[in-house]
Amino acid sequence: MLAATVMTTTLPSHFPIGAPLFHKLCRLLKNCLSHSLPAIQQKALQSITSIFLRKEICSPYIRELGGNVFDKIRPYVLPEKDAQSPTIETDLPLLQDISELDTAVVQDAIKAIEAVLKVSTTPQKQLMFVNLLLRCLARFLCNDPTKELKTLQPHVRRLHEFAFYRINTLGPQYPDAFKAVIQSCPAIKLRIERAAQLISKASQQQAALFQQQNAFKTNISTQKPTIELKMDFAAGFTAK
């Protein structure tokens, strides 16, 4: 898989790989994405991301593999229809129920979708993928981080931090699309604001602690020692 990906991404853009090789590579990547081992899924997602980032060749791969990439995130962000009652949607899994291996797969899938956004050239496509990413990333933010974050397992906490960092990078890069999505979905806006407030509070506490430490160091450096340093080793040891 890795060898085929390297060949695909390093060939000159004018060199056609041909339909048979294209379909074989896509089948290989799809099989790896559906593998039972998360580590294999991660390697496939990383390979797909590198292909998606090649503007000259990425379009057919995005059309063929984009849905399979999103399937790695779908169970956590979209409720499934009940087989017996299609109008009833099943509940989404709780954040704390996501395994450590699955969080790594989710993060690599997010990066693959970000790659699609990077090669999107029209405002309409950018809006579509910013919308998709924001809705997915917001799902991985704690609903109430002030109360929940400290009780989460470390890997789930890292997923929350990953999602918040990724959201922060989307805003400056795609301000118009970001603003449009936020305004259209108050629930996403609320989740992001809660996460930002916690980060801001933590930063303020850290800054206050830093100021206290500096003040303490300054106070120590200006105080005169109450016990003077003496170099007379004979003092106190006089002969009796």
**What is the separation, in whole angstroms, between the first and last Cα of the chain?**
88
- Model pLDDT for residues 80-99, shown as the tens digit of each residue: 655 555 445 456 777 778 89
**Is it the case that residue 129 has pLDDT exceeding 60?**
yes
Residue 19 to residue 60: CA distance in whole angstroms: 10
What tokens does 188 get? Answer: 């996403």
- Sign of the Cα pseudo-torsion (56, 60, 65, 66, in order): positive
Q: Which pLDDT score, from 0 to 100, does residue 84 have? A: 55
Q: Which pLDDT score, from 0 to 100, does residue 12 have? A: 63
pTM for this entry: 0.77
Mapping DSSP to helix (H, G, I), strand (E, B) and coil, where does residue 81 land?
strand
- Residue 121: how many other CB atoms lie within 10 Å: 8
The one-letter amino acid at 99: S
